[in-house]
Amino acid sequence: MSWHPQYRSSKFRHVYGKAASKDKCYDCVPITRNVHDNHFCAVNPHFIAVVTECAGGGAFLVIPIHQTGKLDPHYPKICGHKGNVLDIKWNPFNDFVIASCSEDATVKIWDIPKHLLTRNITSPKKELLGHVRRVGLIEWHPTANNILFSSGYDYKIMIWNLDTKEAVISNPVKILDAHKDVVLSMSFNTDGSLLATACRDRKIRLIDPRAGTVLQEASYKSHRVNKVLFLGNMKKLFSTGTSRWNNRQIALWDQNDLSVPLLEEDLDGSSGLLFPFYDSDTHMLYVVGKGDGNIRYYEISPEKPYLNYLMEYRSHLPQKGIGMMPKRGLEVSACEIFRFYKLIPTKSLIEPISMIVPRRSESYQEDIYPLTTGAQPALTAQEWLNGVNKGPLLVSLRPGSGAVNSLPQFPEPEPLVKTTDLSQHQDWGGKMPLEGMQKPSEIGDSRKQLKVEEKLPKNEQMRLSNGFDIFECPPPKTENELLQMFYRQQEEIRRLRELVNQRDVQIKQLELELRNLCMDTGGY
């Protein structure tokens, strides 16, 4: 009989949540008191947007991500809605465009200026008029540019193509009329070809959004669903809701068979909603409780038991809403794999919480940062509407690297020598092994390179900076490009220091050899 160990081997077993210090939080933010079950917060690498309290109409704040500390009470707002704002979402392919929906039955698209806001923004870039009752949910398509989904209390989901010059759009390209009650949640699969919805009639539906047909429908009586989520390419759905006895409950479903859940688990007896978040890169699932301070996290596996509990982040401060930073905005040097922005209305505070993998090394950890979704669309709006499916374009999170299958990027110059730890190879006699030294062929190549540079005219030499032609690789224009250039220069400096260290070791070794030769000749 084979023996199965009780423990699991995982890189994420010891992931822990770390709340930001007070000076890294956003204080004095008038967070909305609305009881609608939404996140009320949207984050990207440049801005954090949060729905705020506002007399007469609805408004939200857009704060630069690095502008932490106390917020000015007269800070400008985006306030063009006539009713309370119910949901806000950043465009995944443009960090300066945000969509909002409201009780006034409209969806508005806003352009956010790159400089600091100096006055309230009241006129949107586009206005979408189609719903007859309040609009509670909006979702951008994950791979197609300028495709937006909106869901209202008229039980309809509308698909909008924003690739038009019109400022007011009254006709959606498609209306999905498959629901008999309010849609509580929407989620796309990886390439955006399928849409999963959770409805107030307690049913989960799997819909082909372009055809408008319902492919699967779950009417499982003992799980009243609130939120549903696609688990990347796992071909599984995850839902949160309540059981018959009003316990908070989570369930896992097979995408191809929604008749019975694969897994069903009661969590606790609290009444707050559970918001699920899934990281397809690490296969980690986070369940955030509304009205409490807990964040539970699990690891998803393709075989049974499917859901592996890891740990729970606990805090005494309850969250009303939550925002999530995209992977491209994380701090990879600190081994941060996820970041939440927790809304605490009792203290008018937004608190960042980083999920960190404990590692001793400060270098880039390739194994916990696989290629992830970038900020370039894979399709145009019209291509998607014509029936084309394409997965997201992937990028590496390594500082200085660029998109995969995207615009051509200039590669980094390869190091002349391998990175070695000098302390590990140093002998008691002060000698170094030959493996740590530079090869003669490499030295010859570097000498040839120097000779070529000497032959270049002065103006050609001035054009070259760290091996890059400044006309081919122009100076950075955005903060992101500046950071990439900074990381690249840091890497270049580190490489040059290693080269200098290795040359010093080489010099010392030659000195020792000379001394040995002198002693040998003196002996004779």
Predicted local confidence at residue 8, as pLDDT: 65
Three-class HEC string of 227-293: EEEECCCCCEEEEEEECCCCCEEEEEEECCECCCCCEEEEEECCCCCEEEEEECCCCEEEEEECCCC
Asked whether residue 368 is domain-assigned, the answer is: yes
pLDDT at 285 over 60: yes
In angstroms, the CA 455 to CA 460 distance is 10
Domain limits for position 345 = 16-380
pLDDT at 341 over 90: yes
Asked whether residue 387 is domain-assigned, the answer is: no
Higher pLDDT, 220 or 523: 220
Predicted local confidence at residue 420, as pLDDT: 37
- pLDDT category at 95 given cuts 50, 70, 90 is very high
Asked whether residue 52 is domain-assigned, the answer is: yes
Asked whether residue 480 is domain-assigned, the answer is: no
In angstroms, the CA 80 to CA 83 distance is 9
Sign of the four-CA dihedral 365, 368, 370, 376? negative
Give the model confidence (pLDDT) of 374-422 as tens digits. Answer: 999 999 999 999 999 999 999 999 887 755 443 333 333 333 333 334 3
| Tokens representing residue 220 in the block | 């499982």
Question: Which residues partner with 364 through β-bridges?
Answer: none
Q: What are phi and psi of 489, to 5 degrees?
A: -70, -35
DSSP string, 475-514: PP-SHHHHHHHHHHHHHHHHHHHHHHHHHHHHHHHHHHHH
Mean pLDDT, rounded, for 112-124: 89
Q: What are phi and psi of 498, to 5 degrees?
A: -65, -40
- pLDDT category at 473 given cuts 50, 70, 90 is low
Q: Other C-beta atoms within 10 Å of 504: how many?
A: 11
Give the model confidence (pLDDT) of 248-268 as tens digits. Answer: 999 999 999 998 999 999 998
DSSP string, 111-140: EPPSSPP-S-B-S-SEEEE--SS-EEEEEE
| Tokens representing residue 512 in the block | 């020792």
- pLDDT category at 221 given cuts 50, 70, 90 is confident
In angstroms, the CA 194 to CA 159 distance is 13
pLDDT at 450 over 50: no
Predicted local confidence at residue 5, as pLDDT: 46
Closest CA to 43 of 364, 392, 322, 332: 322
Asked whether residue 171 is domain-assigned, the answer is: yes
In the block, tokens 């698209």 appear at 109
Higher pLDDT, 381 or 436: 381
Number of domains the chain contains: 1
Asked whether residue 451 is domain-assigned, the answer is: no
Which of 99-108, 169-178, 514-523 is predicted with the least confidence, judged by mean pLDDT?
514-523
- pLDDT category at 241 given cuts 50, 70, 90 is very high
Which of 122-131, 454-463, 488-497 is predicted with the least confidence, judged by mean pLDDT?
454-463
Per the document, the length of the chain is 524
Q: Are strands 69-70 and 26-27 parallel, antiparallel or unpaired?
A: parallel
Predicted local confidence at residue 440, as pLDDT: 43
Which of 158-167, 174-183, 190-199, 219-228 is predicted with the least confidence, judged by mean pLDDT?
219-228
Higher pLDDT, 140 or 409: 140
Predicted local confidence at residue 54, as pLDDT: 81
Predicted local confidence at residue 371, as pLDDT: 92
Closest CA to 120 of 62, 61, 58, 76: 76
- pLDDT category at 2 given cuts 50, 70, 90 is very low
Share of the chain above pLDDT 70, in %: 83
Mean pLDDT, rounded, for 320-344: 94
Asked whether residue 200 is domain-assigned, the answer is: yes
Mean pLDDT, rounded, for 113-133: 91
Predicted local confidence at residue 7, as pLDDT: 56
Mean pLDDT, rounded, for 351-379: 91
- pLDDT category at 16 given cuts 50, 70, 90 is very high
Predicted local confidence at residue 503, as pLDDT: 87
pLDDT at 190 over 90: yes
| Tokens representing residue 450 in the block | 């120097």
Predicted local confidence at residue 369, as pLDDT: 92
Q: Are 399 and 334 in contact, with CB atoms under 8 Å apart?
A: no
Predicted local confidence at residue 474, as pLDDT: 60
CA-to-CA separations, 211 to 150, 175, 288, in angstroms, rounded: 17, 10, 33
Mean predicted lDDT score pLDDT of the chain: 83
pLDDT at 324 over 90: yes
Asked whether residue 471 is domain-assigned, the answer is: no
Mean pLDDT, rounded, for 499-515: 86
Higher pLDDT, 125 or 449: 125
Q: Are 469 and 456 in contact, with CB atoms under 8 Å apart?
A: no
Predicted local confidence at residue 448, as pLDDT: 45
Predicted local confidence at residue 520, as pLDDT: 75
Question: Which residues partner with 284 through β-bridges?
Answer: 279, 299
Q: Are 368 and 355 in contact, with CB atoms under 8 Å apart?
A: no
Q: Are 126 and 109 in contact, with CB atoms under 8 Å apart?
A: yes
Q: What is the CATH number of the domain that holds 268?
A: 2.130.10.10
Higher pLDDT, 339 or 419: 339
Predicted local confidence at residue 106, as pLDDT: 95
Three-class HEC string of 62-81: EEECCCCEECCCCCCCEEEE
Q: Other C-beta atoms within 10 Å of 502: how many?
A: 19
